Structure 1
Amino acid sequence: MTFRPLLALLMALSVTVTASAQSAADLGASKPRKESTLPLLPTASEADAALISAHLLTRFHYDAQPLDDAMSQKIYTLYFKLLDGEKVFFTQQDMAKFAQDKDKFGNAIWNKDLSAPFDVFNQYVLRAIDRMNYARGLLKQGFDFNTNDTYNVDRKNADWPKDQAELNDLWRKRTMNDWLRLKLAGKSDDEIRKTLDKRYAGYIDRVKQLDSEDAFQTFMTAYANSTDPHTDYLGPREAENFDIQMKLSLEGIGAVLQARDDYTQIRELVPAGPASKSGKVHVGDLVLGVGQGATGPIVDVVGWRLDDVVNLIRGKKDTTVRLEIVPADQGQDGKHEMISLVRQKVAIEEQAAKKKVIEVTDGGVTRKIGVIELPMFYSDFGARSEGDKNFKSATRDVAKLLGELKAEGVQGVVMDLRNNGGGSLYEANELTGLFIDQGPVVQVRDARGQVQVQGDDDPGMAWSGPLAVLVNRGTASASEIFSAAIQDYSRGLVIGTPTFGKGTVQTLIDLDRFASDPTTKPNYGALKMTVQEFFRINGGSTQLRGVTPDISYPNNGDEKDFGESTYDNALPWTQIAPADYKPVADMKAYLTQLDQLHDARGAKSPAWQLMLDELAQYKKLSDRTTISLNFAQRETERKQLDALQADFRARHKAIDGADSAQADADAQLDDGLNPSERSLKTELKEQADAKKAPDPQLQETAHILFDAVGLINANPKLAAEVLPYGGKQGNSASMAAVAGATPLPTQNSAGQSGGASRAPAAASSSGH
């Protein structure tokens, strides 16, 4: 989703940002933002960018709406939701004063006078600093935890505090809860006071670093998101990062940075990147200064915003950057070292497609099931258009992995699209072509009502054996196109929970193209604008409703807060005429049998029952809206929860082994700390443990395919019904895969899957 409260930005500035990025350093704008000067004022370029965006949104948006008083009120409402969504900074008295601007934001854009939204932002900065200072003052006197006070932890539907007295009482309770969490974790009063004072002081530092670009970004996000949930304004840096995310490649040093107090710390090294290959940069190192080229001056970056440090380290391929660091093992007062690195093109493999093989054994029979995890539908259209033979593409990568899985003798394939928020519409179409012979994949309707059918024109399949697509609520947009096409063709089984429900297509527009003087470099940013709606080939839409799985898994309860249906201004569900297509198989021929086998297995599976119990506990905790601030009551609740988690750990140990139980223990106990307050070693261990944690849903999906292969092997008539095209096209590949042999390569090779001859569309079906 595009909704980003400003609090999330402030937290991000203290956690992690990748420094392996593509553009560098015009260093004129790279001065430190240790503290901005109030009041923040809009620039002429920002006013121009807002006006250009308004012209585009009111004329070319899929659901174009005038920028009038009604839209101004929508922007006003969302602007305050972004600034103060928890209603903890402003009072009702403040809001009464702000209300005079409720219908003026539209005119502010048309008149290129952004003073009104900037005035609000300046007031937010002052209030945020004031509230943190108030909380710091409360720490000096401590708290009485023998009262019956309660704290509302879910304030999205709360009113703003009536007046300053009510606001102070709210912050007393917020600060009490922060203290109580640390106290329950065993911290002494002195430790708690020190931890919280440092936390609140750090928040003040980050708020003081907010600048005009942040104010403008927040205001334009409110405008863009008011047109529909997936239209968004991207400031210059966000546009750059979006481009990197889509390409999964960049030019830089290959390091991930995070803020740690006033310092920038190396959190991770990208394999084969310049930093890693140098052997001189290590996880945990502190970056104190950055210099450009072999002789450029070293800029002291202590106390800088993290994204400003990243901006200094970014740069073009084959250029030099110098880092002044303190090695991780020497602490902040250690000997400084100077390291020179040459920036190179770096692949971001973390978001690339990955494979593994799961061996499922049941009834004395073992079968190999291949799994491809695809976090997003990425594509480097720029490199492709330039003729780069190694351009990054989700379809190319998946085709390669399918070939490797076939060589390993898998008998079924799971496409794991859980939490895949989308990406390129073109890639979703191409990827579907790996699993069907030829035919339409998706229908796209523009603002004029014209419908275009996109599909796979190339014959052949990269995989023609049993297929499952694993989805959840985080499966959105391009992922829903793929899942819906597989379901409509009855090409495979869709398994999991209902998907997000995003059925719109966005295009990214570089606003610099509209500069009045083409010789200038205004750096207006970009507009990610909804321009089309996509429909399934059966004529239905994924909008609002998402894709309903053929075999359903239990929900985790997040659907009430997460998904297209939670947006007030989401487009309605509609349908159009179906495309000209025919299902290639009939999953219903054995769906009932597979569902029954799944239910029977789940009923007696300790791992599945444990997952259900943990989900139930998660829902119970997440449904709470208020918590007690009485120490004795919270301690009793903590002991009850610890006992329940101890039972969960014991069950995990019995099922998965001791390592899993310990990982579960580390992840579950509340230490009262924010992520940046834990040691880097602890953070990295938690991250590694999470990756190694058992995955009952994936295991069960593999087992369902195990069952499918068994039913196919036992019944040739059924095989003809459920294998694509009756097993006649690509039949040797299908039957060899089911039998576990290694078939000959199919006609599809990497980069030549369906429709590869067509020019890539500029649009993306980017995720929420």
Structure 2
Amino acid sequence: MTFRPSLALLVALTLAGSVAGVQAQQAPAAANDTATGQPARKAAVLPLAATTDEAEAAQLSARFLTRFHYDAQPLDDAMSARIYAKYLDQLDGEKVFFTQADLAKFAPLKTKLDDAIWNKDLSAPFSIFNLYVQRAIERMHYALGLLDKGFDFSKDESYVLDREKADWPKDQAELDNLWRQRTKNDWLRLKLAGKDDAEIRKTLTKRYSTLLDRIKQLDGEDAFQSFMTAYAETTDPHTDYLGPRLAQNFDISMKLSLEGIGAVLQARDEYTQIREIVPGGPAAKSGKLEVGDRIVAIGQDNGPMVDVIGWRLDDVVNKIRGKKDTTVRIEVLPADAGPDGKHELVTLVRKKVVVEEQAAKSKVIDIKDGDVTRKIGVIDLPTFYADFAARAKGDPNYKSATRDVAKLLTELKAQGVEGVVMDLRNNGGGSLDEANELTGLFIDTGPVVQVRKANGEVEVQGDDEAGLAWSGPMAVLVNRGSASASEIFAAAIQDHGRGLIIGEPTFGKGTVQNLVDLDRFAQNDSEKPQMGELKMTIAEFFRINGGSTQLKGVTPDIQFPKNGDEKDFGESTYDNALPWTQIAPASYKPVADLKAYLPQLEELHDARVATSPAWKLMLDQLAQYKKMRDQTTISLNLAQRQAERKQLDAIQADFLARRKAIDGDAVSANPDASLDDGLNANERSLKSELKAEKEAKKAKDVELDETAHILFDAVGLIKADPKLAAEVLPYGGKFSTAAAVAQAPTPSVAKPSPTQP
């Protein structure tokens, strides 16, 4: 369907990918309880009810949130009302399942959710979830029932695309009409893509039936996760409850390693399909598994094989993950075999798998302008990761963003680069310590960030080890998705005058979270986690100039066009975000003054992009995206939609031709590839999906290329003017430890802690 699934529904659908061995790509993957031999969760049997452990976890979370949160608020009737609103938004944000009559039934619970938590009686929030599951099942059956009748597309009728601010349907009749329109739109999209009625009916029957199956697999764990997410996020946007499964996935995302077979999995129809083989993992080394293989059964060591067709993705992942050096047997239907093809049995020994996809990577861009060519190094850092456990154990090879970037800088210097771009686009943050230490690679000594705790105490964290891993020209490329630790790094580089900040204004997250292991405080001695973890806001960070990135983010020195998502994405879009404040600046002195050549760089940038076909195409595509995004209603009249489709096809064909002229063979020769085919992501063939992703990676990265060219210009200006070089390069253009220490006094450095900004 084209509606935005609720959080709970997303947990069940899990239609993206996750690594069996294994980390989530988009939707959460299962945690590792394979060693316990726990079977897959059964389909939902209403009414669902909370377990004793879940009730205990809810109360324990409340104790922490009301006492130790940075902005601690009482869990009372007022908070209950806010949780109630957030919970309904979690379940039915687009108002397509509940009616106003349902809300009338819920109304007495509005001020009872605080009591439910304190009294460890979660029957109230579970009753809401139970009705949600019931209504979702009813809606899928209703949609399926419409397919036999077909639709009249000659009527002048429209459908509201965005219902986030709409009212809930007043009664069953209004809800039925809404779903008739939604289903009609699904049919019309396929019809416009050239499908005949029989094919459309088959596609939609399969789509709705699959959704129905996934909804029926929702269980008490999903209900509890949804409710606790609502409570946690009511305190502030970045406090979260992580059930045992989500907690393990968060841990994997931080340390970039796990124990398993090393294969990215994806739910597709009733199968779990191998989407990617992780290099160096047991699956890759065996040579017996291929992309596209469908997993049909799983067995542990010499235990029985368990059929997993139709299972939730997280349950399949749960069966495959396990402790290092244990054995798992996987029965697969090969990618090129039909439904009745011969199955193959593969036996693998689980090992530690390093998830390199999210690790720092580097490349060199050769920028040519006239007769001059310069090498610009680029380091792409998707997240500020760190394996705290391995570090604490003294593992010399523990995973760390700073260590990886330091190695990459050494390699780039060996390749003769004259400037370095740190690409932090869509880097949502990670470890506060890593942001601090990574900044230390580019400054000699000095403060990096100020952290204010709930009691008002301010700590200054910074780099107290003399020396730089890179002392030359640098730039930091950011966008709206650059948040938290990314903002700490960008702000510190900007405040020190150490490098250029280029791109869009950043997310605006200025708070620090820490993980609370609820099992530890509940004195749970079981090897298997029961309570989950609380990711709780405990502090706020500030720039060394005293300002905050909260709400405002980091404003680039050279700004690129905004992508238009700032109204829907970013700290300022949260109604309960903390306000912007400021504190006294730390003791520091900028090491350079980049304002000395910013006007020249901006002039060169403006002149270049004014004649750049790639830049003009990016602006035109962005304008089209904004136009489509701002469309709130859509016609359900065939003639009108065909006319609109014809116009859109012409626009897309123009974009494709212009892109092909720029990127050549990197662009698909199939003009239909960029058009709406009416399908959901998991309904397309895996082969075509992977091909499209591969082509997308080959396409010109306009913003990165322009950032590298700006740095090219900076190097040229520096080389042409020794006086300018003395102003804009760190420490007068001549690095010396003594001079650096004199200009950037050493701050008091906080002890490392696994905080997550």
TM range (shorter): over 0.9
1:651 corresponds to which residue? 658
Report deviation, 1:522: 5.9
Aligned pair 1:44/2:45, yes or no?
no
Report deviation, 1:90: 0.6
- Rounded to whole Å, the distance in 1 between the matches of 2:485 and 2:424 is 10
Report deviation, 1:760: 2.5
SS of the aligned residue for 1:329 comes to: coil
2:17 corresponds to which residue? 16
Report deviation, 1:645: 1.1
* Alpha-carbon distance change, 756 to 375 in structure 1, aligned in 2, over 3 angstroms: farther
Report deviation, 1:332: 2.4
SS of the aligned residue for 2:147 comes to: helix
Residue pair 1:19, 1:256 contacting (<8 A) in 2 also: yes
Aligned pair 1:436/2:443, yes or no?
yes
Report deviation, 1:687: 1.5
Q: Compare 679-688 and 103-112 and name the one that shifted more.
A: 679-688
SS of the aligned residue for 1:80 comes to: helix
1:319 corresponds to which residue? 326
SS of the aligned residue for 1:413 comes to: strand
SS of the aligned residue for 2:148 comes to: helix
2:690 corresponds to which residue? 684
SS of the aligned residue for 2:707 comes to: helix
1:728 corresponds to which residue? 734
2:362 corresponds to which residue? 355
Q: Which residue type is aligned with residue 5 of structure 1?
A: S
Aligned pair 1:139/2:140, yes or no?
no
Residue pair 1:151, 1:174 contacting (<8 A) in 2 also: yes
Residue pair 2:459, 2:748 contacting (<8 A) in 1 also: no
* Alpha-carbon distance change, 728 to 84 in structure 1, aligned in 2, over 3 angstroms: same
2:716 corresponds to which residue? 710
Residue pair 1:265, 1:286 contacting (<8 A) in 2 also: yes
- Rounded to whole Å, the distance in 1 between the matches of 2:748 and 2:185 is 57
Residue pair 1:430, 1:756 contacting (<8 A) in 2 also: no
Q: Which residue type is aligned with residue 15 of structure 1?
A: A
Residue deviations 1:161-198, cap 9 Å, x none? Answer: 11111111100100011001000000000100110011
Residue pair 1:58, 1:66 contacting (<8 A) in 2 also: yes
Q: How does 1:219-234 map to 2 (within 5 A)?
A: 219-234=227-242
- Rounded to whole Å, the distance in 1 between the matches of 2:692 and 2:204 is 23
Residue deviations 1:288-340, cap 9 Å, x none? Answer: 111111x1111111111110010010011111111111111112211121111
- Rounded to whole Å, the distance in 2 between the matches of 1:520 and 1:729 is 52
Q: Which residue type is aligned with residue 752 of structure 2?
A: P
Report deviation, 1:266: 0.8
Report deviation, 1:520: 8.4
* Alpha-carbon distance change, 593 to 78 in structure 1, aligned in 2, over 3 angstroms: same
Aligned pair 1:31/2:40, yes or no?
yes
- Rounded to whole Å, the distance in 1 between the matches of 2:601 and 2:129 is 56
Report deviation, 1:697: 0.5
Match of 1:475 among 482, 486, 491: 482
SS of the aligned residue for 2:249 comes to: helix
- Rounded to whole Å, the distance in 2 between the matches of 1:380 and 1:755 is 26
- Rounded to whole Å, the distance in 1 between the matches of 2:342 and 2:229 is 44
* Alpha-carbon distance change, 96 to 260 in structure 1, aligned in 2, over 3 angstroms: same
Residue pair 1:231, 1:528 contacting (<8 A) in 2 also: yes
Report deviation, 1:30: 2.0
2:282 corresponds to which residue? 274
Report deviation, 1:727: 1.5
SS of the aligned residue for 2:336 comes to: helix
* Alpha-carbon distance change, 519 to 364 in structure 1, aligned in 2, over 3 angstroms: closer
Report deviation, 1:6: 2.0
Residue pair 2:34, 2:322 contacting (<8 A) in 1 also: yes
The percent of aligned pairs where both chains have the same amino acid is 70
Q: Which residue type is aligned with residue 215 of structure 1?
A: A
SS of the aligned residue for 2:368 comes to: strand
- Rounded to whole Å, the distance in 2 between the matches of 1:344 and 1:521 is 20
SS of the aligned residue for 1:448 comes to: coil
Residue pair 2:460, 2:747 contacting (<8 A) in 1 also: no
- Rounded to whole Å, the distance in 2 between the matches of 1:430 and 1:160 is 49
* Alpha-carbon distance change, 758 to 332 in structure 1, aligned in 2, over 3 angstroms: farther
Aligned pair 1:462/2:463, yes or no?
no
2:756 corresponds to which residue? 764
- Rounded to whole Å, the distance in 1 between the matches of 2:185 and 2:688 is 24
1:208 corresponds to which residue? 216
2:83 corresponds to which residue? 75
- Rounded to whole Å, the distance in 1 between the matches of 2:158 and 2:5 is 28
Q: Which residue type is aligned with residue 693 of structure 1?
A: A
Residue pair 1:257, 1:266 contacting (<8 A) in 2 also: yes
SS of the aligned residue for 1:280 comes to: coil
2:534 corresponds to which residue? 527
- Rounded to whole Å, the distance in 2 between the matches of 1:655 and 1:163 is 54
Match of 1:55 among 56, 63, 83: 63
Unaligned runs of 5+ in 2: 23-30, 741-745
Aligned pair 1:393/2:378, yes or no?
no
Q: Which residue type is aligned with residue 581 of structure 1?
A: Y
- Rounded to whole Å, the distance in 2 between the matches of 1:330 and 1:321 is 23
Report deviation, 1:31: 3.0
Residue pair 2:35, 2:323 contacting (<8 A) in 1 also: no
Match of 2:95 among 72, 87, 90: 87
Taking only aligned residues, the RMSD between alpha carbons, in angstroms, comes to 1.8
Q: How does 1:482-497 map to 2 (within 5 A)?
A: 482-497=489-504
Residue deviations 1:52-86, cap 9 Å, x none? Answer: 00000000000000000010001000000000000
SS of the aligned residue for 2:667 comes to: helix
SS of the aligned residue for 1:657 comes to: helix
- Rounded to whole Å, the distance in 2 between the matches of 1:285 and 1:552 is 45
Report deviation, 1:42: 0.6
Report deviation, 1:24: 4.0
Residue pair 1:368, 1:411 contacting (<8 A) in 2 also: yes
Residue pair 2:14, 2:313 contacting (<8 A) in 1 also: yes
Aligned pair 1:6/2:7, yes or no?
yes
Report deviation, 1:755: 11
- Rounded to whole Å, the distance in 1 between the matches of 2:469 and 2:338 is 52
Q: How does 1:36-185 map to 2 (within 5 A)?
A: 36-185=44-193
Match of 1:699 among 705, 712, 733: 705
Residue pair 2:308, 2:316 contacting (<8 A) in 1 also: yes
Residue pair 1:24, 1:316 contacting (<8 A) in 2 also: no
Report deviation, 1:654: 1.9
SS of the aligned residue for 1:140 comes to: coil
SS of the aligned residue for 1:288 comes to: strand
Unaligned runs of 5+ in 1: 735-753
- Rounded to whole Å, the distance in 1 between the matches of 2:524 and 2:361 is 46
Match of 1:371 among 364, 371, 378: 378
2:645 corresponds to which residue? 638
* Alpha-carbon distance change, 401 to 640 in structure 1, aligned in 2, over 3 angstroms: same
1:660 corresponds to which residue? 667
SS of the aligned residue for 2:131 comes to: helix
Aligned pair 1:515/2:516, yes or no?
no
Residue deviations 1:513-558, cap 9 Å, x none? Answer: 1225656866100000000000000000000000000000001110
SS of the aligned residue for 1:141 comes to: coil
Residue deviations 1:434-456, cap 9 Å, x none? Answer: 00000000000000000000000
* Alpha-carbon distance change, 209 to 25 in structure 1, aligned in 2, over 3 angstroms: same
Residue pair 1:27, 1:312 contacting (<8 A) in 2 also: no
Residue pair 1:649, 1:662 contacting (<8 A) in 2 also: no
SS of the aligned residue for 2:561 comes to: coil
Regions of 4+ moved over 3 Å: 21-24, 516-522, 754-759
Q: Which residue type is aligned with residue 394 of structure 1?
A: A
SS of the aligned residue for 1:709 comes to: helix
